[in-house]
Structure 1
């Protein structure tokens, strides 16, 4: 998320957990109280439909429980609960201070967060129309200014 997220930056506490409760996530500090959606093929495959996430600042995050990690690119990891399989986050793996992009449904309070951005809109499946007024970018528009993996997954 970009500077668009600045107006949604908050400082406080959020508590989240995976489906089975084996992984607990606490945010005590900075986070963005808004969701960004991604329709790239990697996110679609990972989440099963689309990837929606909100940002938590690394210093504010405490995770308890066993977490499995998958290197989805040479610069990022996707984390999940090894027991129930719940998606937990996407994060740059080449920077220890990188923010976490958390799955909103892990945190009850995030149900009230607005959708503020949607990327890879030209890759969006027909069965996932998102409504409302939010920023959008096509694949080409997003990739022109952001680190990404070349090409689409087969």
Structure 2
């Protein structure tokens, strides 16, 4: 299965091959700031399954994660693990924005107080336990 998407201005396009490793909504403070929203809804793919065309820029938001965005319009596209293993793709950037439904909320200990989680999905105070 192939899933495609891109940024607001169309300068960056991407393709993900196969199915995501997981689909989660992250409420951590880093994701809130990086995305400029209360949470980050993303599908996690192996980095080898993701191909990108167009110019992007990166910002090291932590020791482990780079945030990748379009150099032209600034659309926040990916959170790429710096070790090269996986990349989270923002769900709203897929051409089919309904292609994936989240299966869990993570880092709910840092969610904004006014966000109400009543969708019945599992909630984890930090990351999903291994």
TM-score range, shorter chain: 0.7 to 0.9
**CA 1:22–1:89 in 2, change beyond 3 Å: closer, same or farther?**
same
| More RCO (CA 8 Å, sep 6+) | 2
Structure 1 consecutive aligned stretches of length 4 or more whose deviation exceeds 6 Å: none
Please give the secondary structure, in 2, of the residue aligned with 1:59. helix
Contact 1:20 1:84 in 2 (8 A): yes
CA RMSD of aligned residues (A): 2.0
Pairing 1:1-154 to 2, within 5 Å after superposition: 12-27=1-16, 29-32=17-20, 35-49=23-37, 50-93=39-82, 95-96=83-84, 98-139=85-126, 142=127
> Of Structure 1 and Structure 2, which has the larger fraction of its residues in helix?
1
Structure 1: give runs of 5+ residues left out of the alignment. 1-11, 147-154
Q: Deviations over 1:3-27 (max 9, x none)?
A: xxxxxxxxx1111010001000012
The number of residues matched between the two structures is 129
Deviation at 1:126, TM superposition (A): 2.7
Structure 2: give runs of 5+ residues left out of the alignment. none
Q: State the TM-score, normalized to the length of structure 2.
A: 0.87
